[in-house]
């Protein structure tokens, strides 16, 4: 006879707890939306998707024409034209992913739409922090959880992402979700998350290529099944709604590539070191390409932890590969920074705790100090420094912890140093 354990029914206390959590969620969300309504002008990264959706739905206008950037520039810059060095907000998101913005495009007020979307970003940031810590498989001290959450929310780069209403925080959550799903053999979910991540190439293209390449090497065909199924559904709907979107999308992408804005390692080092900065930048790019090629190849013979470290290195190195990017795209480096801190604490215990506090202080205070207190005459140079600061330090930090990160079991000599 087969005996099955009795199912445990929810008690009134459980229902009360669930109700309190739901009420608290809505109270916090309402408070955040109210706060988001008071944000200064900005939000152009979202508004170009909002305006593109409205142009297509209500005006029967192609979302990839100059109409959209003109509307967004008036909303962001107050009708004063496009300032030098600022993004023109050309819409270059594939139409099958632009469909995901259509519900918010139904809202006629851009301020309210931006506030609601920013709320989504803020909850995505919370999920990104939680998942980044979960990926480390580290029993996180409570004090560090609080500090890391505050750092992630209040640091300069995340602030820029919130101000721009950039989907990069959602993409960061998707990247962390891909790593988490692959580790727990949820291959279809990992593939679906990658399908939703196929834009903002300058932030995550090398990472996605690494994940797909590793899945192919391990013959995890369910990853490609999940990727393909969701992509086919979204593409089918997109071609049904707007059959000719491919060519206008490619044209908009080329226009965006030709626009002059943002930061790259080439322009940054040229401005900082006019005599030889360009050659130094190309040297760094070549060195990083060879380093990533070596690490990618070595990771196929390693375990999940080796892949995790390589993925973190790829995210940290991407802004230094010559792609043009913005400050807010660097907020995805929350993922490798969490891993770096976990290894430091695991390796050096009490000394590691003090090192973490030091690094948190530097990562948090230095960018804000440069941003707030640099004279206007040096504003251009300070922007280049702010752009280089986080990825350079993160890449160096990842290589510093590399030995302990990819070889977690300590040898006896390591154990003796802990006593």
Span 14-43, mean pLDDT? 85
Assigned domain for 90 exists: no
244-270 mean pLDDT: 87
pLDDT at 214 over 50: yes
Confidence label for 383 from pLDDT (cuts 50, 70 and 90):
confident
Residue 240 lies in a domain: yes
Q: What is the pLDDT of residues 68-79, one digit of tens each?
A: 888 888 888 876
Q: What is the pLDDT of residue 351?
A: 84
Work out the pLDDT band at 10, boundaries 50, 70, 90: low
Q: Residue 152: which domain range?
A: 112-417
In a domain, 405, yes or no: yes
Mean pLDDT calculated for residue range 248-264: 85
Average pLDDT (131-135) is 93
pLDDT at position 249 is 92
Residue 54 lies in a domain: no
Compare 259 and 159 and report the one with higher pLDDT: 159
- Please determine, for residue 411, whether its predicted confidence score (pLDDT) is greater than 70: no
82 assigned to some structural domain? no
How high is the mean pLDDT of the chain? 88
The per-residue pLDDT for 170 is 95
pTM for this predicted structure? 0.91
Q: What is the pLDDT of residues 328-372, one digit of tens each?
A: 999 999 999 999 998 998 888 778 888 888 999 999 999 999 988
pLDDT at 318: 95
Band (pLDDT 50/70/90 cuts) for residue 5 is: low
pLDDT of residue 66: 86
Confidence at 415, pLDDT banded by 50, 70, 90 = very low
In a domain, 355, yes or no: yes
Q: What is the pLDDT of residues 73-111, one digit of tens each?
A: 888 887 666 776 678 888 999 999 999 999 999 999 999
For residue range 231-243, what is the model confidence (pLDDT) as tens digits? 999 999 999 999 9
pLDDT for 259 equals 77
Report pLDDT for 85. 67
**119 and 170 in contact (C-beta within 8 Å)?**
no
- For residue 80, what pLDDT is reported? 65
Domains in the chain, number:
1
Q: Quick check: is 135 in a domain?
A: yes
Q: Is residue 374 part of a domain?
A: yes
């Amino acid at each position: 006879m087969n005996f099955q354990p009795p199912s445990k029914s929810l008690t009134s206390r459980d229902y009360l707890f669930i109700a309190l959590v739901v009420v608290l969620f809505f109270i916090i969300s309402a408070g955040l939306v109210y706060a988001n309504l008071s944000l200064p002008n900005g939000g152009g990264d979202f508004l170009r998707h909002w305006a593109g959706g409205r142009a297509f739905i209500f005006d029967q206008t192609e979302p990839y024409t100059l109409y959209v950037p003109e509307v967004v520039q008036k909303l962001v810059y107050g009708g004063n034209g496009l300032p030098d060095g600022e993004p023109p907000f050309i819409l270059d998101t594939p139409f099958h992913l632009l469909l995901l913005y259509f519900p918010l495009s139904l809202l006629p007020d851009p301020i309210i739409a931006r506030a609601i979307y920013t709320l989504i970003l803020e909850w995505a940031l919370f999920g990104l922090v939680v998942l980044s810590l979960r990926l480390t498989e580290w029993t996180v001290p409570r004090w560090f959880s609080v500090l890391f959450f505050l750092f992630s929310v209040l640091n300069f780069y995340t602030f820029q992402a919130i101000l721009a209403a950039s989907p990069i925080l959602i993409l960061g959550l998707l990247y962390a979700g891909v790593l988490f799903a692959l580790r727990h053999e949820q291959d279809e979910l990992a593939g679906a998350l990658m399908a939703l991540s196929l834009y903002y190439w300058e932030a995550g293209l090398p990472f996605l290529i690494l994940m797909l390449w590793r899945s192919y090497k391990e013959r995890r065909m369910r990853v490609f099944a999940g990727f393909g199924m969701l992509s086919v559904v979204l593409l089918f709907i997109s071609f049904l709604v707007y059959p000719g979107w491919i060519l206008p999308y490619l044209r908009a992408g080329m226009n965006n590539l030709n626009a002059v804005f943002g930061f790259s390692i080439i322009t940054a080092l040229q401005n900082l070191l006019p005599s030889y900065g360009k050659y130094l930048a190309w040297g760094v790019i070549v060195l990083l390409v060879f380093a990533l090629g070596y690490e990618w190849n070595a990771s196929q013979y390693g375990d999940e932890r080796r892949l995790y470290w390589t993925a973190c290195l790829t995210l940290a190195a991407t802004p230094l590969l010559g792609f043009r990017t913005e400050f807010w795209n660097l907020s995805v480096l929350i993922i490798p920074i969490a891993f770096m801190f976990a290894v430091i604490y695991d390796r050096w215990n009490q000394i590691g705790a003090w090192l973490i506090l030091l690094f948190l202080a530097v990562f948090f205070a230095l960018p804000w100090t440069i941003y707030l207190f640099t004279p206007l005459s040096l504003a251009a140079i300070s922007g280049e420094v702010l752009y280089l600061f986080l990825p350079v330090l993160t890449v160096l930090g990842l290589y510093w912890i590399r030995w302990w990160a990819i070889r977690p079991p300590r040898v006896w000599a390591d154990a003796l140093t802990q006593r």
